[in-house]
Amino acid sequence: MLRVLGSPKRLCDGITRRDSLVVGGLSLFGLSLADHLKASEKAKPAAGKAKACILLFLYGSPSQIEMADMKPDAPVEIRGEFKPIPSKLPGCDVCELLPHTAQVMDRVTVLRSLTHKNPIHGVAFATTAVPDIDVAMELNPHDQKHWPFLGSVVAYLEEQNGKRKAVPDNVALPFPFSSQRKGEVPRAGPYAAFLGSKYNPHFTRFQGKANRQITKTLTTDTITFDEPYVGIETDCRFTLGDATRLPADVTVDRLNSRKSLLEQMEDARRTRLPTGDPFRERAYDLIGNEQVRTALDVARENPKTRDRYGHTLFGQSCLAARRLVEAGSKFVTVFWDEFGLAGSGWDTHWEHYPRMRNELMPGFDRGYAGLISDLDDRGMLDDTLVLVLSEHGRTPKLDNNKGGGRDHWSQAYSAFLAGGGVARGRVVGKTDKHGGTVTDNPVSPKDVLATTLHLLGYDLETTLTDRVGRPQSLVPNGRVIGEVLA
């Protein structure tokens, strides 16, 4: 093939000048422009199989070794005390604490080769196209260097395409991110950044009571408290957070104190005066939205289906996510967030074994397996992309903290992808015998984001405008992971 070297110039039809010069010489070899374009198109993976996405984000980061990259032949200080069990995905054993998940792995692609250089709780690094992050950014949601959250990008693109719907496209459960830990500033991550706060997630608020207790250790402090991620009462529900705040010009005295909050909200909606405030209008619209209220009311679900997900905060949040997608939401996030203590969630520096056994793995096992099998049974899995992501992994070697501990490790970790155009029953990537280094097909969090947007049908060459007016690609440093596609 003849190739003319030089800097590429993109023409208005999307073909670069360099490509046109190449095509000009193809006739010497019996190839036409049509042949060239057809070959180029075949090189691009097909997009748009997913109608919606559910992101399950395990804040704090689970150990890759205790999920689906177990190392039973490694020394005990690496393999730990948990045993592998076979799953329905040949060649992919899972931890013995995941018996329900084992039964759905034939519908999952396990990505074992995620890697990056930032072993901090960079939710923003994992869920946005920001090129780099540090601790100061992690602890400052308003840092001007942040990029938009994946769900915010989806909501923005849907609106740009004229697809405004009654059910919002960017909902996050179970409560505003990083709002239930004590004594710390909120963490960065799921916010719209330079797209504007209009595209921040609609955070729900959990209304219910925990019925189980857990004891957690943070450095030298040990605290026992009610933990909803371990168990909750059945009479729980979720409401949209930005639809439960009274407008400033509606006082309690103006409303009938004997009415329910919902009735008061409806009165406020019916009697409101025009304000011209798009955020207030959005809240009023959601207040009166029966579809949203119904989707979030998990008590309406068949009791057997609720049992399938498990009566934990994570399990019932997964159920609400399915209901939101069924109602028409394009992107729903379920955060397994810190609760009570900073440094909780899946951040197992201390009491790794008891917390994995008693607090973390059982709730994840029921919630995740319930979601995958329920979507599949309803015929929704093929067009609903389900992601399980975290900021990083955990150290292969255990430390000597009380109950064992694994620290932060970003050199090698795993993610689960299912549905929405992802291959069923596949393992992509490989780590070394200790689960600490990627040895095959390394991928970055940015590649996962690019793959997600690709599967949702968006052109990755679409540009966003940043704070200083520059056009930016959706994920400048990401590529589609062709190996995970069906």
Nearest to 124 by CA among 71, 188, 81, 77: 188
Most confident of 215-229, 380-394, 401-415: 380-394
Same domain, 104 and 23: no
Region for residue 457 given its phi and psi (left: phi exceeds 0; alpha: psi -120 to 50; beta: otherwise): left
Same domain, 35 and 51: no
Asked if residue 280 is part of any domain, the answer here is no
Q: Is the dihedral of CA 112, 117, 120, 121 positive or negative?
A: negative
pLDDT category at 150 given cuts 50, 70, 90 is very high
Same domain, 3 and 53: no
pLDDT category at 47 given cuts 50, 70, 90 is low
Reduce the DSSP state of residue 135 to 3 states and report it. helix
CATH number at residue 168: 3.40.720.10
- What does the pLDDT average to over 91-117? 97
Asked if residue 459 is part of any domain, the answer here is yes
What pairs with residue 384 in β-bridges?
52
Quick one: pLDDT at residue 422? 97
**Better-scored residue on pLDDT, 175 or 270:** 175
Is 229's pLDDT higher than 90? Answer: yes
Quick one: pLDDT at residue 9? 36
pLDDT category at 270 given cuts 50, 70, 90 is very low
Q: Is the dihedral of CA 64, 456, 375, 282 positive or negative?
A: positive
CA gap 207, 213 in Å, rounded: 18
Question: In 238-378, where does DSSP find H-type helix?
Answer: 261-271, 278-287, 290-296, 303-309, 313-327, 352-355, 361-377
Supply the Cα-derived Rg of the chain in whole angstroms: 24
Q: Is the dihedral of CA 449, 450, 454, 455 positive or negative?
A: negative
List, as one string, the DSSP characters of 55-101.
EEEETT---GGGTT---TTS-HHHH-SPPEE--SSTT--EETT-HHH
Same domain, 194 and 334: yes
CA gap 218, 82 in Å, rounded: 23
Same domain, 301 and 218: yes
Contact 403, 350 (CB under 8 A): yes
Same domain, 72 and 24: no
Is 463's pLDDT higher than 50? Answer: yes
Contact 239, 217 (CB under 8 A): no
Same domain, 69 and 2: no
Domain that holds residue 33: 1-43
- What does the pLDDT average to over 105-113? 98
**198, amino acid identity:** K
How far is the CA of 227 from the CAs of 217, 218, 333, 346, 443, in angstroms? Answer: 14, 15, 21, 14, 35
pTM (two decimals): 0.84
Contact 316, 295 (CB under 8 A): no
Contact 435, 412 (CB under 8 A): yes
The continuous run of DSSP H or E covering 447 comes out as: helix 445-455
pLDDT, one tens digit per residue, over 383-397 is 999 999 999 999 999
**Better-scored residue on pLDDT, 396 or 14:** 396
